[in-house]
Amino acid sequence: MKGSQYGKVFRFFQGLIRLVYPKYRIHIPFELNRPVVYVAHHQNLFGPFIILLWFPKCLRAWILHVFLDQEACYKQYVEYTFTKRFGWNKYVAKICALPLSFAITTFLKSGKGIPVYRGSRKIVHTFHQSVGALCKGDSIVIFPDIDYTDSSSQIKEMYDGYLLLDKYYYQATGEHVCFIPLYISKKKKLLIAGNEICFRDGEDVNQERKRVYQEISNTLNDLANEFGD
């Protein structure tokens, strides 16, 4: 099953950055024969940057929808990122946000990002698009940190809504999604995959959701203890 490829804009900048940025290798200690969902630590953009830069195949990343829509992206930068988070003057924020919003949305669309509509009924579109991607052979990567600015090696509290992806995938295919924790080791310059974690047939769904959440969290932190900075 052949997956997607990144667009030309994304591949151009990916190739350019690879020329100057230290190389990270990927270690998956088992053979994968189907598309999966990788779950990784955001680490204040370090996680998405390294994984999308060095993972050897196209990964469809879950990205907050505002960064895939130019007008929404512009508003996000002006009303929050540059003014409230960075403390910039609003006039300066507007000047910088306009070209940046065009650049960011163009780049992330070329990177095949899947928009996430957090706290909205439109989140169902995220699940349907994700199931469609998996069925076409694309693997997905999700960064579910609640505090995405936390740059420590240990993952803290995570959103768990992404685990509903298993429900939608099961409805479409009769199979469970395979979740794989993916840790980035700065020390080893390595992307390290943990074991496959799946929902089990015949078990209480709510209990399974708690178990899968905990196993993903524990695996990421175990990998951090073993390979962290």
Q: Where in the chain are the domains?
A: 8-64+113-227
Rounded distance between C-alpha atoms, residue 114 and residue 107, angstroms: 13
Say what percent of the chain tops pLDDT 90: 90
Q: Is the pLDDT of residue 17 over 60?
A: yes
pLDDT tens per residue across span 109-161:
999 999 999 888 999 999 999 999 999 999 999 999 999 889 899 999 999 99
Indicate the pTM of the whole model.
Answer: 0.93
Dihedral pair phi/psi, residue 62, rounded to 5° = -75, 125
Q: How confident is the model at residue 1 (pLDDT cuts 50, 70, 90)?
A: low
Burial class (CB in 10 A: 0-12, 13-18, 19+), 192: buried
Rounded distance between C-alpha atoms, residue 19 and residue 4, angstroms: 23
